[in-house]
Amino acid sequence: MKSTFKKGLALGLGLALTTKEQASKVVDELVEKGELSKQESKEFFNELLEKGKETQKELDQKMNEKLNHLLNELDLPTKEEVQELKERIAELESQLKKED
């Protein structure tokens, strides 16, 4: 298999593949079609897994960034702020009971 084709295929498939089973299935099909030798299949399999891991890591990072941005946009209170409010409410309720 040509190196540039192999790299392009690895990149494209690496974006879509995140599990060993999927990578193994793709590699097995390429071996059956005669597009990869057994030795190439091992190397290609490892490349696919690595690309899949890299892609998953990038997607996780982007999703976390988007989620944090959305949460900031919503201006929701933090856990600490909610806890402070609960404590303040309890304190005020206690004061009201003392006044009764």
Q: What is the 3-class SS of 9-45, one letter each residue?
A: HHHHHHHHCCCHHHHHHHHHHHHHCCCCCHHHHHHHH
Tell me the per-residue pLDDT of 41-70, one tens digit each, with 9 for 90 and over: 888 888 888 887 888 788 888 888 998 898
Give the integer Cα–Cα distance in Å for 86 and 94. 12
| Exposure of 34 in the CB half-sphere (CA atoms within 13 A) | 0
Report which of 100, 22, 98 is spatially closest to residue 55, judged by C-alpha positions.
Answer: 22
pTM here is: 0.51
